Amino acid sequence: MIIAVPREILPGENRVAIVPDVISKYVKAGFEIHIEKNAGLNAGFTDEKYSAAGAKIIESVTDLYSGADIVLKVQRPLEHPELKKNEIDLIKGGTLLITFLYPLFHFELAKKCADKGINVISMDMIPRTTLAQKMDALSSQASIAGYKSVIMCANELGKIFPLMMTAAGTIQPAKVVIMGAGVAGLQALGTAKRLGAVVEVSDVRPAVKEEVQSLGGKFIEVETDSSMQDAGGYAKEASEEFLKKQKELIFKHVTEADIVITTALVPGKKAPVLVTEEMVKNMRPGSVVLDMAVEFGGNCEVSEKGKTVKKHGVKIIGEPNLPSLVPTHSSEVYAKNLLGLVTYISKEGKVELDPANEIVKGSLITYKGEVVHPRIKELLK
């Protein structure tokens, strides 16, 4: 079977779905690798490195797609700027497409793929189970996003992070508040602590308190009776009453912070507003807010997607694709997630999709011309 990897066409996307280091493993498993010319260049991987690892470089993206049995991508299929065709139209029926489709938000794309006979596995729907850990691309990318968020905030803040004693007096450490203690939030916490900041973390799930404390953070606790985590390990949508309590409690913490990083996402829903304009107004001038959920509606009321804006003297960063700003390592870990999945669902170089398998069942969106994922089917009604 031929695995094809195109160059990503979303503006600002620097990642690539395969890196030279994993190619020998695919070849050993019985696959042939075709990669579009210059597909890995923005992530620091040259065509020479791919060729030396055993991949075949394809000049024409049309040829690449027409010869593929499996297509590995980072982003969902989009309109190709040069060919003026959607990538779905370039992929032949019967091909397996593995990418971040985000079908809970882009369910119309799932329908288009089904109509074309393209089988789709969406990496954002991989179940968060022990068995699926090495395929968990959401976590691997969120971890890098958490790190980069702190570096970007440090760059915008007019203060240093650590406590510093100088002949001219003592400089107090920066105070960082992180909303959400998922993978991204915990990585942001660890990074901010290593830089010397005092870090406070808020999360709707009381169960994460120990994790926060073990990394040296202070947990901002909101009393709640119900578990705020679903069976898959994701945060559940919070009730209005809970969000009101949370806003009241964190108002003080946010307005005293130098940096606020928000990471709260609920799959398939608009991101909850955690930082209101009123909070931003009451923050100290020169403070920084980074809204990691800006692509899905935003946790900050006044963030703007793709922009860093200044509101009420506060800088608000609305970068929608943080992992793409660290493309070398983001691509390396994503490529290993994909390798873990492809080798799991294949035998002797042939992919065998078993819709009854737990991992396949959770992430298979379309199969044999139909939308098969129950949640996506429901959205299309």
Active site residue ranges: 128, 133, 136, 139, 234
Structure tokens at 47: 């065509």
User: How many whole angstroms separate alpha carbon 306 and alpha carbon 287?
Assistant: 19
Indicate the DSSP class of residue 272. P
Residues forming a β-bridge with 58: 36
3-state secondary structure of 146: helix
H helix or E strand, kind and range, residue 187: helix 183-194
User: How many whole angstroms separate alpha carbon 146 and alpha carbon 240?
Assistant: 27
Residues forming a β-bridge with 200: 177, 218
Orientation of helix 137-156 relative to helix 183-194, angle to 10°? 40
DSSP string over 78-125: -B-TTT-SBHHHHSPTTPEEEE---TTT-HHHHHHHHHHT-EEEEGGG
At 184, give phi and psi (nearest 5°). -65, -45
Residue type, position 319, single letter: E
Is 294 in contact with 264 (CB distance < 8 Å)? no
